[in-house]
Structures are given as structure tokens and as C-alpha cells.
Amino acid sequence: MRRLMSLFGRPLAQLGRRKLQTLPVAAERQLHGRSVDSIEPRPLCMQSKCGEKQPPQTLRWGIAPVNLMTEDFATALSVLPAHRHSITSCMDAYRSQATAFANKHRVPKIYTSFEDLARCPDVDAVYISPLNAMHCELCHLMLNHDKHVLCEQPLGMTEQQVVELVGKARARGLFLMEGIWPRCIPAYHILRHEIMRCKLGRIFAVECTLGWQLPTASPKAAEYAGVAKDLAPYGIQLALWVYREVPQQLRVSGKLNRDGIDVAADIDLIFKGNRRARLVLSAEQDLQNTATIRGTKGSAIMNSLWCPTELTFENRDFQFELPVAERSTHFNNRIALCYEAEEIRSCILAGLTESSLFNHDESRLMVHLTSQIKEMLEEDDQDARFQQKQAVG
């Protein structure tokens, strides 16, 4: 077990002017005292409203680069009014790929280098989703060219990288968000609201399972980041959404494959007052992608960690019908990226550099926690090997 408060006392104190304890304030201000119906949440403007006084401001997106995730993002934008979001340019190193994407999603400009896209004057915000290790470099490039950025998680591979990125975005007055999109969808808002109204009593447990058999029998470092970096963030962000504080301790056990990649892990995050979150993760077997939140008055179950369409309280069921686009998404329920896009547009129009739904401090905490978990899994493995060796010797 690792005591986090002592371990990262220093990093915590340096988490910027806004302390981590202030994470949920914005959301709390937003939700407190309003009924569920009134917050149902940041309603999507699915159709153009007549009689808007101000002409609607269109957020002009650049896509860097085109791939299956980007396809889903474009599909998600297609359910939103065209005067609110448009994709004005897309990039792929191969012109044929960029052209195919542009034809499919009616994108007027194509580029074959990230740098040319970064220089495009018709782009306000860039959606970044390539290989994890390249996120940070692309974020810097886009920020350097005064573009707002939505970047798939992780923002960086190290805490230092995230700190530098966040510093740059703030200094340049640009919006930057790590793509933890569950935070933007309806079920998460309802969950938070019900928790704040004490419908579950005092919460003492969050339980998440998430796993699937990777197509690769023995993933290597170049191809797979491991469950700590790849799957844990889904559970961690839920735990932080529920408890609204920094965990005090971590308890981790798991399994590394022969190439040293963590392919299974049981992770306990322990919060103040012995309240817990347990994540059961696997890259070797299919597990249910579900979450249960237990409190003294009852429990809630989400049918998916990242985009629940059903949220079940003991005395109430919520169903969330997702928007329907002309084409389906490649990944499950990614049509709900439309909620994230709307959140980002609102923030940018309001002149914000971060979203209160998943802010810069949380990005920093996230990379801190996942790095700690990875490190503990590796230490654990070394201990086990040492003990095995001792036993044999």
C-alpha cells in the first residue's frame, strides 16, 4: 500500500493556484438546488433556434490526424447544428486518406502535415487523437499556433509534460482539455446531482470492472501502454467525480507479461474516512464495463463506465437515449462525443482555458495517479520475482 498524501505532498501543494480541493466547486455551483429536470444536462441544441439575437458562433474544428476515433468525432458533430460546429480542415500524412475523410465528412481543406494544419487560419480548435506518446508534442504544436485543443487522454506521458502544457495554454489564453468525455454526458450529471442531494447517503464504495481480451497475445511496450495507463483512467475519473477529493492511499496488485507490460490489475483508491474505489482491469479477458456506487442509503449502477445509457438507483431508473446519426460510430456509444464538443464550444465562447467538467488539475492528478499505479505494479512484480528467486535459491 502506498500513502499518497505523504508521497505526493509536494506535487499536491504545487498543483497551481486552484487547489485540487476546489475541483468540484464549479459543478457544485452549477447543480446545487436545481431539480434534475432543470439540469438535464447542458442540453444539446439539436436544431437551430429561431430568433436567436446573436448570430450563432461556429466553432471551426481541425482534425489531426484522421483515423477511426476521428471518424467517430465527425459523426458525433454531425448530430449538432452546422452553425455551431464545423470541421474546416483535416490532416493525414497520406493525401488519399485525408481526401477520403474530407469527401465523407465534407471538409473543405486537407493537409498532409500537422504543421500546415496548425498554421491554417480557418481553424479555431484542433481534435488530437494519434498515438499516446505523440499527444504532448501535437498539443504544443497547436497551442504554439494559437489553436484551442481537445486531446484524447493522456495529455502527456509524465506529470511534467502535463504541467508544461497546462502552463502554455493558460499563458496564451487558449482552451485545453483532456478528452475525458464521460464527464460531459447526461448520466454523469444526473449521478453527481443525485449524490449531492444525498440520495445515496454517505458513499463508501465505487466498484468498476473493465477489461477485454486484446487481439495481441503478448502486447509490447511499443504497442500497448498497459492497463494502468489505458484502462485505469476510466475508473479513476469516475471515483474522482463521485468523491470529489484526492485519494489518500493507493493499493495495487496485478500482473505483468513477459515484456513487462501490466496486463491485469486490481486497484484500490482510498479516500478520506476509508471510503474506497476499486478498479478491476484486464487486457487479457472480457470483463463487464460497469460501475456500482454504494452509499449508506442505497446504490447506483451504471451500465457502462464511459457512456452509460442506463443509470439505476434503487428507487429510480434513468434511461439516456443517445442522438442518432446517419452513420454508426466505430467505437461503442462514441456518438456521445457530441456532448463534449458542446461543452468545449461553451467554454471557448466564455473565454475559459479549461472546462470545469474535467479541468487541468484533474489532468495533472490523473497522470500522477496512473504513473504511481504503473510504478507500483512494476515494483510489485520485482518483489514477486525476488521472492520467487529466494524461494528457489
Q: Which residues bind its own copies (CB under 8 A)?
A: 65, 93-96, 112-116, 134, 137-138, 141, 215-220
SS3 label, residue 143: helix
Q: How far apart are the first and last CA of the chain?
A: 27
The DSSP H or E segment spanning 97 is helix 95-105
Cell of 338: 457530441
CA distance 104 to 94: 16
Question: In the complex with its own copies, which residue's Cβ is closer, 25 or 134?
Answer: 134
Tell me the closest approach of the beta carbon of residue 69 to its own copies, in angstroms.
14
Concatenating the DSSP letter of every residue in 8-41 gives THHHHHTS-SS-GGGTTHHHHHHHTT--HHHHS-
Report in angstroms the alpha-carbon separations of 391 from 237, 270, 350, 380: 40, 32, 63, 16
Question: In the complex with its own copies, which residue's Cβ is closer, 187 or 214?
Answer: 214
Question: In the complex with its own copies, which residue's Cβ is closer, 34 or 95?
Answer: 95
Question: In the complex with its own copies, which residue's Cβ is closer, 115 or 379?
Answer: 115
Query: ω into residue 56 within 30 of 0, thus cis?
Result: no
Q: Which of 264, 280, 263 is nearest to 210 (CA)?
A: 280
Tell me the closest approach of the beta carbon of residue 115 to its own copies, in angstroms.
5
The 3 state secondary structure assigned to 332-370 is: CCHHHHHHHHHHHHHHHHCCCCCCCCCCHHHHHHHHHHH
Tell me the closest approach of the beta carbon of residue 354 to its own copies, in angstroms.
26
Question: In the complex with its own copies, which residue's Cβ is closer, 223 or 383?
Answer: 223
Tell me the closest approach of the beta carbon of residue 98 to its own copies, in angstroms.
11
Question: In the complex with its own copies, which residue's Cβ is closer, 20 or 118?
Answer: 118
Going by the DSSP 8-state scheme, the letter that residue 55 receives in this structure is: P
List of residues 6+ apart from 45 with CB closer than 8 A: 80, 81, 84, 342
The DSSP H or E segment spanning 238 is helix 232-243
Tell me the closest approach of the beta carbon of residue 214 to its own copies, in angstroms.
9
Q: Distance between alpha carbon 235 and the CA centroid of its chain, in Å?
A: 10
Partners of 203 in the beta sheet? Answer: 295
Question: In the complex with its own copies, which residue's Cβ is closer, 25 or 68?
Answer: 68
Question: In the complex with its own copies, which residue's Cβ is closer, 128 or 373?
Answer: 128
Tell me the closest approach of the beta carbon of residue 216 to its own copies, in angstroms.
5
Do residues 255 and 246 lie in contact, with contact meaning Cβ atoms separated by under 8 Å?
A: no
Tell me the closest approach of the beta carbon of residue 159 to its own copies, in angstroms.
19
Cell of 14: 504545487
Tell me the closest approach of the beta carbon of residue 14 to its own copies, in angstroms.
27
